[in-house]
Structure 1
Amino acid sequence: MTEREATGGKPVVEITGLTVSYRSAGRDVVVANEVDLAVRANETVAVVGESGSGKSTVAGTVLGHLRHGSRLAGGRVLVDGQDVFALPPRQLRALRGGTVAMVAQNAGQALTPSMRVGRQIAEALRGRGLDRRALDAAVVELLDQVRLPNPAELARRYPHQLSGGQQQRVAIAMAVAARPRALVLDEPTTGLDVVTQGGILRLLDTLSSELGLATVLVSHDLGVVASMADRVLVMRRGEVVEEADTERLFADPRHPYTRTLLASVPRITDGGLVEVGEDGGRTVRRREPVADAPPVVSLRDVRIGYGRRRRTRRAHAEPRPAVDGVSLELRRGEVLALVGESGSGKTTLAWSLAGLRPPSEGEMRYTDHGRSDDLAQPAARRATDLRRRVQLVFQNADTALNPRRRVAEAVRRPLRMFGLARGRRELDERTRGLVADVHLDPALTERLPAQLSGGQRQRVGIARALAGEPDVVIADEITTALDVSVQASILALLDDLRARRRLACLFISHDLAVVRGIADRVVVLRHGVVVEEGPTEAVFAGPNHPYTSTLLAAALEPDPTSARRRAENRDAPPVQWADDAADGAVWEELGAGHRIRRWREVGKEDR
């Protein structure tokens, strides 16, 4: 946890008796009930709870925002002494981005795709009355402040040309451009790998101290909360059930729901899947190792690129492939985890297996049931039965579901497409069963995706993939948007399906605690190259490739004391190593299928 102390005096953000409701089926539904929250300068208060608990609703009111159909049923929201919901529209617009700013959960969606990054930041600076030259200089200064390399060059890029971590830093630069007094962070590190996440958290901590911000943090990641927050509010079903200083809450939770929430968090030391009882008791279910089984999917020397640059008067080398010479096998009944930073090639490999991006070179085959089918071809050219057997759960459920199709139709479609159910009655029964399997309320099947929480949409995506009764499921960051209690149930479900159906799963995740709990084997990717692979326990026990060691060291634990020690050591210079894709790199066998690429230390400075 941070060492800074809140500045005394009147709170910058003061919420009293906040009640928000909306009309449904002729009755009022309360989503936030009598919520009180006060945040002073130089203080971070986290609001945590399950999806649908009302935490995002409360955070949105700090900017005077309510979801469509909602209304303020009671209470007041004061920001810097101004009653947000009493302000006329013009003054409310001046408050947003001026006095209070927000960093949204998905920076890639929050940024305008058709505008260059610099221009978007410049818009946030318009109120300063700067001329063109001063405005350009201020944009570069902000990008440098959020620790982005080559800020002048990066300002000319479009959002899609940036990594997820870079997009998030741009969103932070826009938020602090007008030097606000209050900052709302809505899941600021969701979807980021552990190394990038650590950089974002250090940046936010530094900016908060430099600017004296009053920060409201919304997060389901209790490791992030332990690292950032001074105080924590725990919400359930629209009500605050517990409030305490971060250290006290993590060490001695008083409310049964808080105890259950903390017990559900996977820890990197667990070595199995977490099961939580009604009393908050915590047990770890050790997974039985998968016996030798034939491979379902085999990859040999797979390279996946994004094409050559167009020729100009200057010669350009071919860009480095996103996946470079990867070979691996996925066996029936096993969970194989792919880990690595953003840009390491994990999702590119997943999309290629699903037929969305064919490989440039190499062999990809489905080899179950005595077959040997080519997976290197696009999905549209695959036989219907082969398409059914390999299913992908997308990372971003917000964009993976058709916004105009109700949940029931999204789940039914594979049943119709693959001829797995006939007639309305059978379709309805199978749909209800799939929805129940992922722990969704059947009443939600008649809603549109926009009417669901992020975690609920992710579960719909999982149900849709399971509808095809696949042999191989590619799970691309499927727990990213889920709160910890739902995440535990989804992981248990996936493990049960693996055991019951002997399902093979390629599991992509940046959460190393989750990986250790569910995976049989781990493959570590760096710059599209496999640098380490082996049984899960062997990889986590070490010795490791230094890149794997970096990932393990960056993993956050739900422990404020551990977070403080990490903050004290965060300025230690990183160890760099030779390029693993370079000619002459060789494998070092460590035994029992565990191996790493031989490396050499090349210096203590970033290259």
Structure 2
Amino acid sequence: MTDRARDASAPALHLDDLSVAYTVRGRDLPVLSNVGLTIERGEAYGLVGESGSGKSTVALALQRVLPPNGRISGGHARVAGKDVMELGTAALRKMRANDVAMVFQDPGKALNPSLTVGRQMAEVYEILGASSAEARKRGEAILGRVRISDPGRVMASFPHQLSGGMQQRVVIAMALAKDPALLILDEPTTGLDATIEAEVLDLVDTLRQEFGAAVLFISHNLAAVASLCNRVGVLYAGKLVEEGPARALFADPRHPYTAGLLRCLPRAGFKGGPALDNIPGFPPVPGSITKGCVFAPRCGLAEDRCRSEEPPLYDVGEGRGSRCHFHDRIDDLPRMSEPPPVNTPERGPDVQPVLMLERLSKTYELPGNRQVQALRDVSLTLNPGETLGLVGESGSGKSTLANLILGLAEHDEGGAISLDGTPVAASVHARPREAIQAIQIIFQNPDSALNRAHTVKHLIGRAVERLAGITGAKRNTRVTQLLEAVRLTPRQLPAKPRQLSGGMKQRVAVARAFAADPRVIVCDEPTSALDVSVQSAILNLLSELQAERQVSYILISHDLGVVRHLSDRIAVMYLGRLMEIGPAKSVLTGPHHPYTEALLSAAPTVTGERGTRIRLEGQIPSPVNPPSGCVFHTRCPRKFGPICETEEPGFSADTEGHAIRCHLDRSEMGRGREMKGVEIVEANG
């Protein structure tokens, strides 16, 4: 048997008691402890867990690309039969070039902005020994295999000229160009819309079967993992605490940590239902727990035995393992956190809108006397204490609308924004302090939103002083009150952002947004970068603060489970137009606009099952040259005649205020498709 034949018969990845340690101040801190798992050829394996659990360390260790202070301290990692610890420099380089490929979270950072896609694609094949002409030909061919319709145009483009979904397809094509034994996906869909995420996952699954490559899918998106992976491993504090078939594991978890993660998901009911459960406390510092179960300090089932005796990986049947002494008692796990009581003030009978948008449009001027209408004729209202969910693919106009509301961009003439019945200027620079105080924003990424050079006290205090005009001792009192409101303590005041967890940083961002007692807060993907356990805590916090202070939210998100959990009403946007708006339950249960129906059908589920997937062909048209008639007709699966191409449909509402912009009669629209959190199921009848 040749070496190549032996490699082909070996698993794509085999970790045998792999341990990794980082040296910090002369002390070895274990970040992975005796992790053992196997991924066969053609299999998709998901690795889930909170930030800091060791997921990315696994990916780095198996390629021997750990930071300088990191080292494999025990065990073995074998890729396609090769023990990475035994490989010399040349052999290791060859293994990385041929056997392993990695797709990162942000394709924009993975691609060189100064080189065309064609040059970067050709580089991969040239490294593998192809001539320049052959490399370009093969690069164009592999782009076609990842469902890029015009490979020649894309090859001539620079990365910034492509959408996020298109960039991710290019990165996947580059990864698959060398026909690897193992494809590592590290959060590849975190920043993508639901439709693009579904397309990327479908693409990876198809290519996995076509190429026979194994997939290691690292993600905190449990539903995405369930939809793609055959098996799942759950990491906590560097230990594999549960492993098994994906559907069985998510349907019937056998470890309290897995059960806790699943309970954090917004899966049932609309706004006003019970608060989400969340896992109390934080993962332990590496090396801090030397005996017993690493999850015991946060576990609702923990007993004395758990604190003194480390559980082995128990065989719980059907190819599953659980590192829990009480794996047969998971159904008895109590709620892990109780929501605090919320004091909701009574609302009078005559509620006036806090925010009113009338016929807002936004046109950008481009070179060559060209124009882009990013937003067209959007009108809506927002009541005190109400949440309006704003959904739609990238490029639909959600962020443009948010910028107009905040005054960061000026709307076209003819539009108007009113706050508590008073018109406000289009530009933030022309607005009085009271109007600026009244409308604030929480950004998606707290790392980018918080100045890492300043302390928490300075970050919040500056907002209190600049926005609310509070100085001196009252300023410090106000900072402490805001910190308590977001469930942080004075111990965090002298800390800088780098010293805080992701959830803590987002709480600081929330506190800063509330510094001036705003009337409206724009929440721009406030939880998409967070683990599900941290996400549930932030969602509960936003709900509590809204109920107590009657602040209104405009929630921009591609996570339909989050939108359902927080929203009173939902607005659906496409190519700068409002296509549907109405009460959350009416919009999500139908009748739906065909575009809304496609968005709902694309949402993954933790059961790994979907209803009938509605695929939208092609990309969103260019706003420079939008389609005539209904702007959605070029991709609409329900287009029924020339009227869709020539006449724009009106915006008709029913008695509940559920308005839809479509030529279809409501009786012919999709209905009976009820969305249950992140799940979509077919209703009877």
Report TM bin, short chain.
0.7 to 0.9
Aligned equivalents of 1:257 and 1:77: distance in 2? Answer: 26
Change (3 A) 1:412 1:359: same
1:347 aligns with 2:405: no
Aligned equivalents of 2:579 and 2:10: distance in 1? Answer: 53
Aligned equivalents of 1:427 and 1:21: distance in 2? Answer: 44
Instruction: Report what 2:524 is aligned to.
Output: 476
Q: CA deviation at 1:310?
A: 1.9
Aligned equivalents of 1:447 and 1:21: distance in 2? Answer: 26
Instruction: Report what 1:331 is aligned to.
Output: 383
Q: CA deviation at 1:53?
A: 1.9
Instruction: Report what 1:589 is aligned to.
Output: 653
Aligned equivalents of 1:250 and 1:338: distance in 2? Answer: 29
Whichever residue aligns with residue 541 of structure 1, its letter is T
Instruction: Report what 2:354 is aligned to.
Output: 296
SS in 1 for 2:34: strand
The gaps in structure 2 that reach 5 residues or longer are: 1-6, 279-299, 301-332, 618-634, 666-685
Aligned equivalents of 2:530 and 2:188: distance in 1? Answer: 14
Aligned equivalents of 2:235 and 2:485: distance in 1? Answer: 26
Q: CA deviation at 1:228?
A: 0.7
Aligned equivalents of 2:550 and 2:646: distance in 1? Answer: 38
Instruction: Report what 2:364 is aligned to.
Output: 306
- On the 8 A contact 1:21/1:28 being kept in 2, the answer is yes
Q: CA deviation at 1:253?
A: 0.9
1:415 aligns with 2:464: yes
Instruction: Report what 1:551 is aligned to.
Output: 599
Change (3 A) 1:238 1:102: same
Q: CA deviation at 1:460?
A: 4.2
1:50 aligns with 2:84: no
1:400 aligns with 2:449: yes
1:508 to 551, 556, 559: 556
Aligned equivalents of 1:207 and 1:324: distance in 2? Answer: 39
Q: Map 1:251-400; keep pairs closer than 5 Å.
A: 251-267=251-267, 272=273, 274-276=275-277, 278=300, 279=333, 281=335, 293-311=351-369, 318-319=371-372, 321-368=373-420, 371-374=422-425, 376-377=426-427, 379-400=428-449
Q: CA deviation at 1:346?
A: 1.0
Deviations 1:521-566 (A, max 9, x none): 1111011111111111111221111111111122222113x24x65
Deviations 1:252-298 (A, max 9, x none): 2111111111122222666645533752559999x999876322222
- On the 8 A contact 1:21/1:31 being kept in 2, the answer is yes
Aligned equivalents of 2:18 and 2:512: distance in 1? Answer: 37
Whichever residue aligns with residue 361 of structure 2, its letter is R
- On the 8 A contact 2:594/2:636 being kept in 1, the answer is no
- On the 8 A contact 1:529/1:581 being kept in 2, the answer is no
SS in 1 for 2:175: helix
Q: Map 1:152-167; keep pairs closer than 5 Å.
A: 152-167=152-167
Aligned equivalents of 1:599 and 1:468: distance in 2? Answer: 45
Q: TM-score, normalised by structure 1?
A: 0.86
Q: Map 1:76-91; keep pairs closer than 5 Å.
A: 76-89=76-89, 91=91
Change (3 A) 1:479 1:591: same
Aligned equivalents of 2:607 and 2:19: distance in 1? Answer: 32
Could you say which structure has the greater relative contact order, defined with CA pairs below 8 angstroms and 6 or more residues apart? 1
Deviations 1:28-69 (A, max 9, x none): 443322222221111111111122222222233233233464
Change (3 A) 1:39 1:153: same
Q: CA deviation at 1:192?
A: 1.5
Whichever residue aligns with residue 522 of structure 1, its letter is I
2:579 to 494, 510, 531: 531
Instruction: Report what 2:315 is aligned to.
Output: none
Aligned equivalents of 1:293 and 1:222: distance in 2? Answer: 40
SS in 2 for 1:276: coil
Change (3 A) 1:451 1:204: farther
Instruction: Report what 1:21 is aligned to.
Output: 21
- On the 8 A contact 1:274/1:283 being kept in 2, the answer is no
Q: CA deviation at 1:74?
A: 2.7
Q: CA deviation at 1:203?
A: 0.2
Q: CA deviation at 1:491?
A: 0.9
Deviations 1:217-256 (A, max 9, x none): 1111111111111111112222221111112212221111
- On the 8 A contact 2:270/2:585 being kept in 1, the answer is no
Instruction: Report what 1:171 is aligned to.
Output: 171
- On the 8 A contact 2:441/2:523 being kept in 1, the answer is yes
Instruction: Report what 1:604 is aligned to.
Output: none
Aligned equivalents of 1:141 and 1:180: distance in 2? Answer: 17
Instruction: Report what 2:675 is aligned to.
Output: none
Instruction: Report what 1:4 is aligned to.
Output: none
- On the 8 A contact 1:97/1:124 being kept in 2, the answer is no
Q: CA deviation at 1:171?
A: 1.7
Aligned equivalents of 2:566 and 2:466: distance in 1? Answer: 31
Aligned equivalents of 1:440 and 1:37: distance in 2? Answer: 38
Q: TM-score, normalised by structure 2?
A: 0.77
Aligned equivalents of 2:10 and 2:492: distance in 1? Answer: 43
Q: CA deviation at 1:357?
A: 2.4
Aligned equivalents of 1:39 and 1:459: distance in 2? Answer: 38
Change (3 A) 1:136 1:293: farther
Q: Map 1:408-487; keep pairs closer than 5 Å.
A: 409-418=458-467, 422-423=471-472, 434=482, 437-438=485-486, 449=497, 457-487=505-535
Q: CA deviation at 1:11?
A: 1.8
Instruction: Report what 1:3 is aligned to.
Output: none
Q: Return 83-92 or 573-582, whichever deviates more.
A: 573-582
SS in 2 for 1:125: helix
Q: CA deviation at 1:380?
A: 3.9
Whichever residue aligns with residue 294 of structure 1, its letter is Q
Q: CA deviation at 1:25?
A: 6.7
- On the 8 A contact 1:97/1:175 being kept in 2, the answer is no
Aligned equivalents of 2:56 and 2:483: distance in 1? Answer: 25
- On the 8 A contact 1:335/1:506 being kept in 2, the answer is yes
2:637 to 556, 575, 583: 575
Q: CA deviation at 1:138?
A: 2.0
- On the 8 A contact 1:117/1:157 being kept in 2, the answer is yes
Deviations 1:454-492 (A, max 9, x none): 555544433432334322111111111122222111111
Q: Return 125-134 or 102-111, whichever deviates more.
A: 125-134
- On the 8 A contact 1:334/1:505 being kept in 2, the answer is yes
Aligned equivalents of 1:528 and 1:273: distance in 2? Answer: 35
SS in 2 for 1:325: strand
Whichever residue aligns with residue 558 of structure 1, its letter is V
SS in 2 for 1:305: strand
Aligned equivalents of 2:429 and 2:451: distance in 1? Answer: 19
Aligned equivalents of 1:18 and 1:428: distance in 2? Answer: 49
Aligned equivalents of 1:237 and 1:582: distance in 2? Answer: 59
- On the 8 A contact 1:273/1:517 being kept in 2, the answer is no
Change (3 A) 1:251 1:163: same
SS in 1 for 2:78: strand
Which has the larger Rg?
Answer: 2
SS in 2 for 1:34: strand
Whichever residue aligns with residue 373 of structure 1, its letter is V
Aligned residues: 581
Q: CA RMSD in A?
A: 3.4
Instruction: Report what 2:622 is aligned to.
Output: none
- On the 8 A contact 1:295/1:332 being kept in 2, the answer is yes
SS in 1 for 2:354: strand
SS in 1 for 2:365: coil
Q: CA deviation at 1:360?
A: 3.2
Q: CA deviation at 1:14?
A: 1.6
Instruction: Report what 1:125 is aligned to.
Output: 125
Change (3 A) 1:446 1:187: farther
Q: CA deviation at 1:420?
A: 5.5
Q: CA deviation at 1:117?
A: 2.3
